[in-house]
Amino acid sequence: MKPLALGIIGHPIGHTLSPRMHLMAAKYNDINLSYSAYDVSPKSLARAIDGVRALSIDGLNVTVPYKVEVMGLLDEISATARAIGAVNTIVREGELLKGYNTDAAGFIKSVRKNGLTDPNGKSVFVYGAGGAARAVVTALASAGVRKITVTNRTEARSVELAVSAVQTASTTDVDIALYDSNKLFESVSSADIIVNTTSVGMGASGASLPGLEGLHAGQLVVDIVYAPLKTDLLKRAEEAGARPLDGLWMLIYQGAEAFRLWTGKPFPVDKVRNAMTAELEP
Ligand code: ATR
């Protein structure tokens, strides 16, 4: 049988852990597949998707900055991906390319399984209003959270995200908080779950999130950043007695769900977690 041809498109793409994860899962299931990382320049996205069709590539992951733009180049979009407004997984189904979003499911699974918290009925504070925030907010609303408060450096984007969340999440109370307010810690303090969806904390940027004086015991603090594994936010959470949850779990579960869509097979979650942890904590 022809090996399954898979890959990831993004720009830049150098740091991606996805090829390693999927090749490990292939080996675990004894499946013959290839998984390549393609750095696609912004002017070439449409031609890259034409190439996927011409070469009969079976599936792709899509990462920053193409999760929104790629939607206009596909034949079908799943209901979840449409609600979020972003696609991170493409599956070739016959002659058609269908877009899915597995980030949302990956996030909720990490909160339930590794954060040991059921989001239903909880109050959540979210940093950020970009593409990742959209997936997180949509996932939380479908998981039945009682209240979501969004803050973002650029306020207009938090307003935009809150408005679209209100339209899709009829039972969740959605609010915004001012990023530079000296009362931000009060909103942080009153939440059960705090989530960082911004790139603050990634690498050695030196920027820090406002309002962290509000962290305390009993809260779950999730960072979707996974490099470094233990971000400054998660260190602050630990110091305050809150439960920290790193972004590697979400990355692994979104990959597991994409792998299931492409192959129908299970993903060796713990094996992949151990290998990726070793890579991120040399
Ligand atoms: P993604 O798809 O990964 O969410 P994005 O749409 O570019 O990427 O969003 C990045 C998020 O990180 C935004 O919320 C951004 O805030 P702005 O909307 O103000 O740009 C946030 N972000 C990035 N760098 C930041 C920094 N130094 N301080 C605060 N927020 C930052």
Q: Can you give the pLDDT at residue 51?
A: 97
Which atom of ligand 1 is least distant from the CA of 129? 14
Ligand 1 contact via 34 beta carbon (within 6 Å)? no
> 207 in ligand 1 pocket by Cβ < 6 Å?
yes
Q: Which atom of ligand 1 is nearest to the CA of 132?
A: 4
User: What pLDDT sits at residue 169?
Assistant: 76
pLDDT reported for residue 2: 84
112 alpha carbon to ligand 1 midpoint, in Å?
A: 25
Classify residue 9 by its DSSP letter. Answer: E
| CA–CA dist 99, 96 (Å, integer) | 10
Of 127, 215, 144, 239, the residue nearest 179 (C-alpha):
127
> Of 108, 133, 11, 100, which is closest to residue 63 (Cα–Cα)?
11
Task: Evaluate whether 224 touches 244 at the Cβ level (below 8 Å).
Answer: no
- Angle, CA 262 vertex, CA 259 and CA 267 arms, to 5°: 25
The minimum-distance atom of ligand 1 relative to the CA of 134 is 4
Rounded distance from Cα 176 to ligand 1 centre (Å) = 16
Q: What are the structural domains of the chain?
A: 4-101+249-280 (3.40.50.10860), 104-246 (3.40.50.720)
Atom of ligand 1 nearest to the CA of 179: 29
pLDDT tens readout for residues 147-184: 999 999 999 999 999 998 888 777 899 999 999 999 99
pTM here?
0.95
Helices (H), 85-239: 103-113, 131-142, 155-168, 184-189, 232-239
Q: What is the pLDDT of residue 207?
A: 83
Q: Is 277 in the pocket of ligand 1 (CB under 6 A)?
A: no
From ligand 1's centre to the CA of 163, what distance in Å?
A: 18
Ligand 1 centroid–CA 199 distance in Å is: 6
Would you state the pLDDT for residue 208? 92
pLDDT at 167: 83
Ligand 1 neighbour 129 (Cβ under 6 A) = yes
pLDDT of 265 reads 98
Pocket test for ligand 1, best of 198, 223, 225 (most atoms within 8 A of CB): 198
Q: Which residue has the tokens 């939607």?
A: 71
Positions in the chain short of pLDDT 50: none
- Cβ(106)–Cβ(217) under 8 Å? no
Choose among 241, 242, 244: nearest CA to 230.
244
DSSP state of 104: H
Q: Which residues are catalytic?
A: 67
Residue to substitute in 107, 125, 199, 251 for testing ligand 1 pocket (most ligand atoms within 8 angstroms of CB): 199
Are 251 and 277 contacting, i.e. CB atoms less than 8 angstroms apart? no
Within 8 A by CB and 6+ apart from 173, the residues are 146, 147, 148
pLDDT at 282: 65
